[in-house]
Amino acid sequence: MGAMIPIPSKIALLIPRLASDADGEIVATVRAIDRQLRAAGLDFHDLVSRLTAAPEPEPMRWTPSDPAEPSPFDMASWLRFHALDRLTDNQRDFIVKATGILGSGRHLSAKQAAWLRNLYDQHGGH
Protein backbone atom coordinates (compact mmCIF):
# COMPACT_ATOMS: atom_id res chain seq x y z
CA MET A 1 0.00 0.00 0.00
CA GLY A 2 2.94 2.33 0.72
CA ALA A 3 3.94 2.12 -2.93
CA MET A 4 1.06 4.39 -3.86
CA ILE A 5 2.00 7.19 -1.46
CA PRO A 6 4.49 9.67 -2.94
CA ILE A 7 7.83 10.18 -1.23
CA PRO A 8 7.86 13.65 0.42
CA SER A 9 9.83 16.16 -1.66
CA LYS A 10 11.54 17.48 1.49
CA ILE A 11 13.58 14.27 1.57
CA ALA A 12 15.37 15.36 -1.61
CA LEU A 13 16.54 18.44 0.27
CA LEU A 14 17.79 16.36 3.19
CA ILE A 15 19.71 13.65 1.33
CA PRO A 16 22.70 15.88 0.34
CA ARG A 17 23.24 16.60 4.05
CA LEU A 18 24.16 12.91 4.48
CA ALA A 19 27.53 13.74 2.87
CA SER A 20 28.54 15.90 5.83
CA ASP A 21 31.84 15.30 7.62
CA ALA A 22 30.07 15.79 10.96
CA ASP A 23 28.66 12.55 12.36
CA GLY A 24 26.08 14.43 14.41
CA GLU A 25 24.73 16.17 11.32
CA ILE A 26 24.45 12.83 9.50
CA VAL A 27 22.51 11.26 12.39
CA ALA A 28 20.25 14.32 12.64
CA THR A 29 19.60 14.14 8.89
CA VAL A 30 18.72 10.43 9.07
CA ARG A 31 16.29 11.21 11.89
CA ALA A 32 14.76 14.07 9.85
CA ILE A 33 14.32 11.76 6.84
CA ASP A 34 12.72 9.16 9.12
CA ARG A 35 10.27 11.77 10.46
CA GLN A 36 9.31 12.83 6.92
CA LEU A 37 8.77 9.23 5.85
CA ARG A 38 6.70 8.36 8.95
CA ALA A 39 4.57 11.49 8.50
CA ALA A 40 3.72 10.18 5.03
CA GLY A 41 3.02 6.68 6.35
CA LEU A 42 6.26 5.29 4.88
CA ASP A 43 9.58 3.93 6.09
CA PHE A 44 13.13 3.49 4.78
CA HIS A 45 12.13 0.25 3.03
CA ASP A 46 9.61 2.21 0.96
CA LEU A 47 12.27 4.79 0.13
CA VAL A 48 14.70 2.10 -1.03
CA SER A 49 12.07 0.34 -3.13
CA ARG A 50 11.30 3.62 -4.92
CA LEU A 51 14.97 4.35 -5.51
CA THR A 52 15.61 0.90 -6.99
CA ALA A 53 12.34 0.44 -8.88
CA ALA A 54 12.40 0.45 -12.66
CA PRO A 55 11.14 3.73 -14.06
CA GLU A 56 7.59 3.84 -15.29
CA PRO A 57 7.52 3.41 -19.08
CA GLU A 58 6.57 6.46 -21.08
CA PRO A 59 3.03 6.09 -22.40
CA MET A 60 2.95 5.54 -26.13
CA ARG A 61 1.38 8.39 -27.97
CA TRP A 62 -0.44 7.58 -31.17
CA THR A 63 -1.06 10.40 -33.56
CA PRO A 64 -3.29 9.70 -36.51
CA SER A 65 -1.92 10.45 -39.92
CA ASP A 66 -3.35 13.38 -41.83
CA PRO A 67 -6.72 12.13 -43.14
CA ALA A 68 -6.24 14.25 -46.24
CA GLU A 69 -3.08 12.27 -47.10
CA PRO A 70 -3.52 8.48 -47.04
CA SER A 71 -0.50 6.29 -46.44
CA PRO A 72 0.90 4.26 -49.35
CA PHE A 73 -0.51 1.12 -47.72
CA ASP A 74 -3.96 2.74 -47.48
CA MET A 75 -3.80 3.76 -51.14
CA ALA A 76 -2.72 0.28 -52.28
CA SER A 77 -5.39 -1.37 -50.12
CA TRP A 78 -8.09 0.97 -51.42
CA LEU A 79 -7.12 0.23 -55.02
CA ARG A 80 -7.01 -3.50 -54.32
CA PHE A 81 -10.48 -3.60 -52.80
CA HIS A 82 -12.26 -0.89 -54.81
CA ALA A 83 -10.65 -0.62 -58.24
CA LEU A 84 -8.88 -3.89 -59.03
CA ASP A 85 -11.38 -4.73 -61.78
CA ARG A 86 -10.65 -1.40 -63.50
CA LEU A 87 -6.88 -1.88 -63.64
CA THR A 88 -4.78 -3.44 -66.38
CA ASP A 89 -3.08 -6.76 -65.67
CA ASN A 90 0.23 -4.95 -65.10
CA GLN A 91 -1.37 -2.43 -62.72
CA ARG A 92 -3.25 -5.21 -60.91
CA ASP A 93 -0.03 -7.19 -60.38
CA PHE A 94 1.69 -4.04 -59.09
CA ILE A 95 -1.10 -3.29 -56.59
CA VAL A 96 -1.14 -6.87 -55.26
CA LYS A 97 2.65 -6.81 -54.84
CA ALA A 98 2.60 -3.29 -53.36
CA THR A 99 0.10 -4.26 -50.65
CA GLY A 100 2.34 -7.21 -49.75
CA ILE A 101 5.48 -5.06 -49.65
CA LEU A 102 3.85 -2.29 -47.63
CA GLY A 103 1.98 -4.72 -45.38
CA SER A 104 5.28 -6.32 -44.36
CA GLY A 105 6.68 -2.95 -43.27
CA ARG A 106 8.92 -2.38 -46.28
CA HIS A 107 8.80 0.70 -48.52
CA LEU A 108 8.21 1.29 -52.19
CA SER A 109 10.82 2.97 -54.36
CA ALA A 110 10.18 6.59 -55.29
CA LYS A 111 9.10 5.49 -58.78
CA GLN A 112 6.71 2.86 -57.39
CA ALA A 113 5.27 5.33 -54.87
CA ALA A 114 4.64 7.86 -57.66
CA TRP A 115 2.91 5.21 -59.77
CA LEU A 116 0.78 4.15 -56.81
CA ARG A 117 -0.24 7.78 -56.13
CA ASN A 118 -1.08 8.26 -59.83
CA LEU A 119 -3.26 5.11 -59.92
CA TYR A 120 -4.96 6.13 -56.70
CA ASP A 121 -5.76 9.60 -58.04
CA GLN A 122 -6.90 8.25 -61.43
CA HIS A 123 -9.32 5.75 -59.96
CA GLY A 124 -11.05 8.01 -57.48
CA GLY A 125 -9.32 7.15 -54.25
CA HIS A 126 -10.27 9.39 -51.35
**What's the confidence (pLDDT) of residue 2?**
43
Report yes or no: 14 and 23 within 8 Å, Cβ to Cβ.
no
Report yes or no: 7 and 46 within 8 Å, Cβ to Cβ.
yes
Q: What is the pLDDT of residues 28-52, one digit of tens each?
A: 999 999 999 999 999 999 999 888 8
- Which class for 54: exposed (0-12), middle (13-18), buried (19 or more C-beta within 10 A)? exposed
**What's the confidence (pLDDT) of residue 54?**
79
- In whole angstroms, what is the distance from residue 111 CA to residue 89 CA? 19
Q: How confident is the chain (126 residues) per 10-residue block, as mean pLDDT?
A: 68 92 95 94 91 80 71 93 92 95 93 95 83
**What's the confidence (pLDDT) of residue 5?**
73
- Which helix H or strand E contains 51, and what residues bound it? helix 44-52
